[in-house]
Structures are given as structure tokens and as C-alpha cells.
Amino acid sequence: MALIVQKYGGSSVADAERIRNVASRIARGRGAGNDMVVVVSAMGDTTDELIRLAHQLVDQPDEREMDVLLSTGEIVSSTLVAMSLKAMGYNAVSLTGLQAGIQTDTRYSKARITAIEPQRIRNELKKGNAVIVAGFQGVNTEMDTTTLGRGGSDTTAVALAISLGASVCEIYTDVEGVFSADPRFVPEAVRLETIGYEEMLELATYGAGVMAPRAVELGQVYEMPIKVASSMSDNGGTLICKEGSMELRNRVSGIAHDTNVAKIMVIGVPDRPGVARDLFEPLARANISVDTIVQNAGVDNITDITFTVARTDVVKALSIVEPVSKAVGAVRVSGDESLSKVSIVGTGMQNAPGYAARMFRALAEENINIQLITTSEIRITCIIEESRVRDAVRALHKAFEVEFQQSG
Ligand code: ASP
Ligand code: MG
């Protein structure tokens, strides 16, 4: 008998039939004598629909009310899973984030978990209940509901697995695991048996939608293994865990892409101290996260500064940058909304020369223009036109195929 912590994503609980499927999977675990703690996301696109609804009423919904509103999506699915289990003859109870003891800081819509008091969960387990926890939510010191940011149910699940001392956190979704590239673009993409936290974190941050980056980070800090698998089958799965020996490290583990990218260029900026601060401070204050930043070497005391933001932030970002650019004496500002990022990720790239060259060659052979390039120790990212992203992912997958095979 073990303690099992599972999480089911929105697509796995999208309708009554799928909820019944989730309940029978939980019942199976319970029937085998395990203690079951199960985190659920909101059904299907509920969160998006609730956000849309709020914006139909007001431009800038009140933060506190918004978090309460969004938390209801997960409460709905948790109750339905619990009911369904009971109907199958199993004892079950649903708990909100508050009831589950998930305490957070006070940042609405992106709260961080500060502590978990799992006593209530333990008591319910002792009573023989399967415990179904509404994901993505907690409570702050004012006893107000907070939410953990989009995809936050993953974070709830990993945090609970850590707090309860589970040996693994199981994340069930609509794909069979983590793939070497998006299988919708690359039919030959292979499922990875295992992947290290660091690589998974880069893949998730650079567009692999399978897991929320924050949850991977949390798993890494506490060394909680995370298994990602399909809720529709018993096959496959990818284990995210601590890397094995150095020798077994993958060169390139996967290719990620992200189409939510816009570029802003500030052209003809005076090359003097303080300009970058004047540009980026107001963006930070407006909570706009800036990703790639490139500044050219100055010529004749003039330079260009280019950076990227999420496409969803570009209108706001331009409205901030334009007046600042005028004030510092830049020639002009231009924006381009239809860009994408493609990234190759692998711990084995560090200390192995030639990866960037191979990536650029693969893109050149497809006649894909690279607009910006950024790197970390284990990642190379190119920013390209969105219309070429599928071709780019395919070409890169082909160019690095040999290395995925080593990883199986
Ligand atoms: N329902 C929330 C979202 O869609 C949280 C989650 O699904 O993990 O972002
Ligand atoms: Mg969701």
C-alpha cells in the first residue's frame, strides 16, 4: 500500500464520460489498497471561458474577484470526480485549496505556495477517502482565495506530492508523455523515456506545453520525480527526474517551439548610459516580461535595441516604449507580431562544439531566415517568422535525429 498523488488536466476531465474515466482510474488505485490524493484542473476550456466572461463585463477585472472566479473551475471538476467515485462505491471527498491547506502569498493570479498544512488531507485518507483536490488555488494570509498562474494545477500536484512524501507525482494529460518535438508537426517524434529536470524546464519554458515550468522547477528543487502520461491509456509516459551519469546525458533531447512571440525594435538609440534602464524599467513596472534582448555594438554613438515579449503583451509594451523612445531621442520604434521561437535543448550540448552551426545549417537549407538568436548553456533558440515554424521544427528534428535515438 502506497500513497499515490495524481493530477488530471483539463482535457482529461472535459466531459461526463472523461470524468467517469478518471474516477475509474482512481478507483483502480484505491482497489489495489493505495491512498489516493488526486488534483484536478478545470474542465476543458473553463478557465479561458471564465476569463472571457469577466472581460465582457469590465476591461480590467478586479484581481481579488478574478481569482475567486477562476478558482471555481477546479472546484466544479473536483466535486464531479468525487461524486462519480462515490457512485462507483468508493469513499471520496473533494477539497478546495483552502481546505487542502495550501497557503500562498498575496499575489493574485500568480500566487506562490508558501506552505502546505496537509492535516485535513491526512485525516480524510485515514477515514478511507480518496481525496480530490481542486488544483491551481490556495489561500493567502487574509483568507482570500488566490490562484497560482495558468497551468497551476501541475504546481499544486507537485507541491502536494512533496508535502505528503509521495515517491512520485503522476501527471495525466492528453498525450503519452514528453516527445522529442510536437508530434503534430513531426510525426516521427519519439517519446522520451526519461528527461532531466533542467532540460524539461527549458523545454517547458520555451513552448513544450505538456507541463507548467514552475511545477518542473519545484520538482527539481525537491527532487520529486514526475511522471507524465496519458489519462486515456496505460502505455508510455515520460519520467522527469534527476539526470543519470554524465556519460548518458543527451546531446539534444528535444525541440520546442513557441508561437506567442512578438519583437519590438527601437532604432537609432543614442549610445549612452541609462537608455536601457529608461526603456526597461517602465516595462517591468507594467509587469511585462521581456525575453530576448539584443543591443548592437554602437556605431557613431548610435545603436539599436531589439527585444521580444509575449504577443499578448505587445500592444501594451508598444504603448510604453513609444513615448520613452521619443524622450531618449530614438529614430523610430517598430513592432512585429508574427514571430516564433524554435529551440534545441540538451545538457550534452555544453562543452560540445558545433551545435549552433548545425542548427543554423538546418535552417539555412530550408531557406528560413533567423532574426534573433539566444542561448543558455543547454539551449539554442532562434527567432523566426511564424509562417515557417513548422518547417523549422521538422528540419531541426531531422538534423538531430541520431541523438534522440540515443536517449530511448
Ligand atoms: N485551469 C487552470 C488553467 O487553465 C489551471 C490548470 O489547468 O492547471 O490554467
Ligand atoms: Mg487548463
Q: Where are the strands (E) in 174-248, listed by range?
A: 194-196, 226-230, 238-241
Residue 403 has pLDDT above 80, yes or no: no
* 7, 40, 41, 76: residue to mutate for ligand 1 pocket, most atoms within 8 A of CB: 41
Distance 158 CA to ligand 1 centre (A): 14
Helix then strand then coil, in percent of the chain rounded to 5, is: 40, 25, 35
Distance 297 CA to ligand 1 centre (A): 42
Residue 154 has pLDDT above 70, yes or no: yes
Residue 307 has pLDDT above 50, yes or no: yes
Distance 224 CA to ligand 2 centre (A): 22
208 — phi, psi (to 5°)? -70, 110
- Torsion from C-alpha of 42, 48, 51, 57, nearest 10 degrees: -120
Distance 192 CA to ligand 2 centre (A): 23
Q: In sequence order, what are the residues at sequence separation of 6 or more whose Cβ sits closer than 8 angstroms to the Cβ of residue 19?
A: 13, 43, 77, 80, 81, 84
Average pLDDT value for the chain: 94
Residue 28 has pLDDT above 60, yes or no: yes
Q: Which domains does the chain have, with CATH numbers?
A: 3-250 (3.40.1160.10), 256-407 (3.30.2130.10)
**Which ligand lies nearest to the CA atom of residue 171 in the structure?**
1
Q: Following DSSP, what letter does each residue of 126-171 receive, concatenated? A: HTT-EEEEE-SEEE-TTS-EEE--TTHHHHHHHHHHHHHT-S-EEE
Predicted pLDDT of residue 91? 98
77-90 average pLDDT score? 98
80 versus 107: the higher-pLDDT residue is: 80
Number of other residues whose CB lies within 10 A of the CB of residue 97:
30
Which helix (H) or strand (E) element contains residue 405? helix 401-407
8-13 average pLDDT score? 98
224 — phi, psi (to 5°)? -90, 115
pLDDT confidence band for 368 (50 / 70 / 90): very high
pLDDT confidence band for 408 (50 / 70 / 90): very low
Residue 8 has pLDDT above 70, yes or no: yes
Share of the chain above pLDDT 70, in %: 97
* 74, 109, 110: residue to mutate for ligand 1 pocket, most atoms within 8 A of CB: 74
**Which ligand lies nearest to the CA atom of residue 39 in the structure?**
1
User: For the whole model, what pTM was predicted?
Assistant: 0.92
Give the residue among 1, 25, 24, 7 at the shortest CA–CA distance from 224.
7
pLDDT in tens, 40-71: 999 999 999 999 999 999 988 999 999 999 99
pLDDT in tens, 194-240: 999 999 999 999 999 899 999 999 999 999 999 999 999 998 899 99
R_g over Cα of the chain: 23
Query: What is the DSSP-derived secondary structure letter of residue 191?
Result: B
147-174 average pLDDT score? 97
* 38, 113, 153, 172: residue to mutate for ligand 1 pocket, most atoms within 8 A of CB: 153
Distance 69 CA to ligand 2 centre (A): 15
Predicted pLDDT of residue 244? 63
Residue 122 has pLDDT above 90, yes or no: yes
Ligand 1 atom nearest to CA at 48: 4
Atom 6 of ligand 1: nearest residue by CA position: 151
Residue 246 has pLDDT above 80, yes or no: no
Do 47 and 71 contact (CB within 8 A), yes or no?
A: no
Atom 9 of ligand 1: nearest residue by CA position: 150
